[in-house]
């Protein structure tokens, strides 16, 4: 179970995290810790344990080891897939589930680059892919989280929208001092929009500055046969 980290220098400390399904390890003996205000990209091949790590950080799956969040961290989460388009409600009704006022809803829509007057009364079902991702980001940040977990932030959107969404995320996290953990398969995006990268392939195979992910030797570590490593702490 996730516990509170008493070390003020770090907002998250993960120790010996292991998660198994049918006695097969999905994550094996993972250790890392991070400070406030950084953007950390989680990378790795399909099935490497990236989404499972997020679910463990949110205490949504059983695991062994320790996950320690520091001092009542409020966490926002946007999954890769959220089947809300089938729900016959408007953007305003969707965001109202978090008990925020209409003025707060319009303000958060504007903060994610949407024309609030244009979209607030639209049905979720008719939004474009880019608009939907922005609404989901608005959902995650409307109650002012300290940490934002984002699984494939631009899944299902075009290239122009992808760049705009990552740029908007960078601006939002800097302005509001939000620590961002994101899962991405695009190493160019990782290099441009994150500070550090943590690569999983069942275990920790790389942990360092994001600019290093374009190094062929680093990519071989990330996508080759798993070679578990021990790395130092990530510092903001």
60-76 residue pLDDT tens = 999 999 999 987 789 99
Does 20 reside within a domain?
yes
What is the per-residue pLDDT for 167? 84
Does 234 reside within a domain?
no
DSSP state of 122: S
What is the per-residue pLDDT for 236? 43
DSSP H helix total and E strand total for the chain: 8, 10
Q: Which domain holds residue 60?
A: 3-223
CB atoms within 10 A of CB 229: 12
Which residue ranges in the chain fall short of pLDDT 50?
Answer: 236
What is the per-residue pLDDT for 231? 64
Does 233 reside within a domain?
no
- Phi and psi based region of residue 22 (left: phi greater than 0; alpha: psi -120 to 50; beta: remaining): left
CA 121, CA 204: separation in Å to the nearest integer? 45
Looking at the 3D structure of the chain, how many domains does it have?
1
CATH number, domain of 80, equals 3.40.50.300
What is the per-residue pLDDT for 53? 94
What is the per-residue pLDDT for 82? 66
Does 229 reside within a domain?
no
CA 194, CA 213: separation in Å to the nearest integer? 11
Indicate yes or no: pTM above 0.95: no
């Amino acid at each position: 179970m996730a516990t509170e980290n008493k070390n003020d220098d770090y907002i998250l400390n993960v120790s010996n995290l292991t998660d198994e399904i049918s006695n097969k390890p999905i994550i094996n003996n993972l250790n890392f810790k991070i400070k406030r205000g950084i953007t950390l990209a989680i990378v790795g091949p399909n099935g490497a344990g990236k989404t499972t790590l997020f679910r463990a950080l949110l205490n949504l799956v059983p695991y062994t080891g320790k996950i320690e969040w520091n001092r009542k961290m409020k966490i926002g989460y946007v999954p890769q897939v959220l089947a809300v388009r089938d729900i016959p409600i408007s953007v305003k009704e969707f965001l109202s589930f978090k008990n925020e006022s209409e003025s707060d809803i319009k303000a958060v829509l504007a903060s994610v680059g949407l024309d609030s007057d244009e979209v607030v009364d639209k049905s979720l079902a008719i939004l474009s892919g880019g608009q939907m991702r922005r609404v989901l980001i608005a959902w995650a940040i409307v109650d002012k989280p300290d940490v934002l977990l984002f699984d494939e932030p631009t899944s299902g959107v075009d290239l122009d929208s992808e760049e705009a969404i990552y740029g908007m995320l960078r601006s939002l996290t800097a302005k509001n001092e939000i620590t961002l953990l994101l899962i991405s398969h695009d190493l160019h995006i990782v290099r441009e929009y994150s500070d550090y990268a943590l690569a999983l392939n069942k275990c920790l195979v790389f942990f360092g500055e994001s600019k290093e992910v374009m190094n062929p030797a680093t990519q071989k570590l990330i996508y080759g046969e798993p070679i578990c490593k021990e790395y130092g702490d990530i510092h903001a």
